Amino acid sequence: MGKSVKMLIVVALAVAALPLAAANVGAQGGTWVSGVTVQNLSSTSDANITITFYNQDGSVAHTLPATISAGGQTSWYLPAHVPGLGDGFIGSAVVSSDQPVAAIVNTQVPTDWGTMDHPNRIGASTGVLTPGPQAYLPHVMKNAWDRWNAYIAVQNAGASDTTVTVTYYDAAGSLLDTDTQAIPAYASYVFRLEEDGELADGYYGSAIVDGGGQNIAVVCNIYNKCADYVTAHLQSYNGSYSGGTKLYAPAMKRNYYNYNSGYKVQNIGTANTRIKATWYFPGNTYEKTSDYIAPGQAWGFYLPDVPELDPVDALPVPQRTGSAIFESLDGQPIVGIINEDNRVDPAGYAGTYNSFIDGEQTNSVFFPKMDVEYYGYSGGIQIQNVGTASADLTVTYSAKAPFTVTGLAPGASWSQFAPNAPGMTTGGSNDDYTGSVTVSSTQPIFGVANLSFRHDVDDRYGMNYGDSFTYYNGINQ
């Protein structure tokens, strides 16, 4: 039997409607649900797991035992596959396993939505294997530009009750406000910035969440006002529990088939620091350095607004996707997130992932969920070589033969749209393919996955309006 593993999943929603939905999504309201996917990282042993769901008061709502075959994965759409929770559940979960596992959770409007009047919305975050006493959030907002808000979901990872404090900083690094909340053991609480009377409308900045002596797991969701399907954005990212002086971002885009990236990097140290960004696009590198960034403050730009990247627009469109490295020049630890959106076609798509901390890279990355024409959804992966020499990759989609990618330069990234993977046959035998992906490398790597509804790839389900686009971080092992 392998080592016992516990992984926290923050704010799993199963048909959670009305008060929460209205607070979370502003003008849209409606019903919200979650899906959970767990991947067994062992290639030789089945994983015996238990998912324990907790109500917001810390009581156990339901337990779900399951066995996942070696190297396999299982997904649960909570309303259909976990009826023991019941309608109206909102809470958190802990995955316990006798083998190493990885998990992701998505929060979404039910899949029978996606019309102009009831647009789709989806965000994804990863399970938290190592919670910490503090979590850092580089990007939070309240009615920013009259349409953007955020909520912060916090799970108490300890066996004792605790009082959690959230401290908010403005874009200049000044402390604006603090909120506190008692949270029972294993329970969760949602801080809704839209309801915070101490924060002024138009606020955007960063936050630090303190667990009051207990470890916590944190997810932040950013959402647009959803006045229509082009303002239906929902973006999820995990809080960071530690930082480093170098961060990696495997996927960065500028005018790439209407997709563009932005970044926010937060100083979580005790002194000011400058931050240097280096972007790698095929055959080209570009740099930008910040002014001094105060403790708690975050620095970032939307890539089309970075003059140093203007030459990227002259590259062929397929070459306008790359990677980045962020470095703290004065030795202070930093954390960061990467946003990506499409404001043209399909307008309203957006996703977020966490940058990766130097020192946590490995030679294998796992992606628990990857779809190809799965009820209209298809995904992709992007891998960054963070080693010192060229990397050769071995890529394995579950139930498919592995294939290799050679000669990935240090700092550079390689991407693949899953329907184009070798052995994948779209429009036929692979309709409704869902599985996992494992990437191994001769050099240390990081990676991210994305997912969206692709009518242009799978036209069986008609158009799907709103934000079906999401990112999640690959799991290093």
Model pLDDT for residues 162-200, shown as the tens digit of each residue = 999 999 999 999 999 999 999 999 899 999 999 999 999
For residues 401 and 350, membership in a common domain is answered with no
Residue 217 belongs to a domain: no
For residues 315 and 401, membership in a common domain is answered with no
Q: pLDDT at position 17, please?
A: 26
Question: What is the C-alpha to C-alpha distance for residues 124 and 432, in angstroms, rounded to an integer?
Answer: 20
Residue 417 belongs to a domain: yes
For residues 331 and 415, membership in a common domain is answered with no
pLDDT at 208 over 70: yes
Residue 85 belongs to a domain: yes
In contact, 378 and 418? CB cutoff 8 Å: yes
For residues 334 and 376, membership in a common domain is answered with no
Amino acid at position 126, single letter:
T
Residue 110 belongs to a domain: yes
Mean pLDDT of 362-390: 96
Query: Where is the domain boundary, 332, 357, 382?
Result: 357
Question: What is the tens place of the pLDDT at every residue in 58-93?
Answer: 999 999 999 999 999 999 998 889 988 888 888 888
Q: pLDDT at position 421, please?
A: 95
pLDDT at 33 over 90: no
Question: What is the tens place of the pLDDT at every residue in 440-453?
Answer: 999 999 999 999 99
pLDDT at 29 over 70: no
Mean pLDDT of 281-285: 93
Residue 381 belongs to a domain: yes
Residue 257 belongs to a domain: yes
Give phi and psi for 255, each to the nearest 5: 50, 45
Amino acid at position 156, single letter:
N
Measure Cα distances from 21 to 140, 192, 257 in Å.
19, 11, 32
In contact, 425 and 399? CB cutoff 8 Å: no
Please tell me the pTM assigned to this model.
0.92
Question: What is the tens place of the pLDDT at every residue in 404-443?
Answer: 999 999 999 999 999 999 988 766 556 689 999 999 999 9
Pairing of strands 466-467, 120-126: parallel
Question: What is the C-alpha to C-alpha distance for residues 277 and 265, in angstroms, rounded to an integer?
Answer: 10
Question: What is the tens place of the pLDDT at every residue in 324-336?
Answer: 999 999 999 999 9
Q: pLDDT at position 363, please?
A: 98
Residue 160 belongs to a domain: no
Q: pLDDT at position 316, please?
A: 97
Tell me what the pLDDT averaged over the chain comes to. 90
Query: Where is the domain boundary, 313, 332, 357?
Result: 357
Pairing of strands 148-156, 134-142: unpaired
Burial category of 236 from C-beta neighbours within 10 Å (exposed 0-12, middle 13-18, buried 19 and up): buried
For residues 11 and 121, membership in a common domain is answered with yes
For residues 463 and 395, membership in a common domain is answered with yes
Torsion over CA of 425, 430, 434 and 439, rounded to 10 degrees? -20
Residues with Cβ within 8 Å of 449's Cβ and at least 6 positions away in sequence, in order, are: 367, 369, 370, 379, 380, 381, 382, 437, 471, 472, 474
Q: What is the DSSP string of 413-449?
A: EEEEEGGGSTT--TTTTTTTEEEEEEEEEEEEEEEEE
**Residue 390 CB neighbours (<10 A):** 14
Which of 401, 473, 3 is closest to 239 using CA atoms?
A: 473
- Domain count along the chain: 3
For residues 335 and 389, membership in a common domain is answered with no
Task: Put residue 240 in one of left, alpha, beta given phi > 0 → left and psi -120 to 50 → alpha.
Answer: beta
**Residue 118 CB neighbours (<10 A):** 20
- Please report, for the domain that includes residue 92, its CATH number: 2.60.290.11
Question: What is the C-alpha to C-alpha distance for residues 415 and 450, in angstroms, rounded to an integer?
Answer: 11
Residue 425 belongs to a domain: yes
Q: pLDDT at position 227, please?
A: 85
For residues 16 and 100, membership in a common domain is answered with yes
Q: Higher pLDDT residue, 263 or 94?
A: 263
Query: Where is the domain boundary, 92, 126, 160?
Result: 126
For residues 343 and 367, membership in a common domain is answered with no
For residues 265 and 324, membership in a common domain is answered with yes
- Its domain, for residue 302, covers 246-357
For residues 396 and 343, membership in a common domain is answered with no
Residues with Cβ within 8 Å of 84's Cβ and at least 6 positions away in sequence, in order, are: 61, 62, 64
For residues 350 and 369, membership in a common domain is answered with no
Which of 261, 437, 279, 256 is closest to 351 using CA atoms?
A: 261
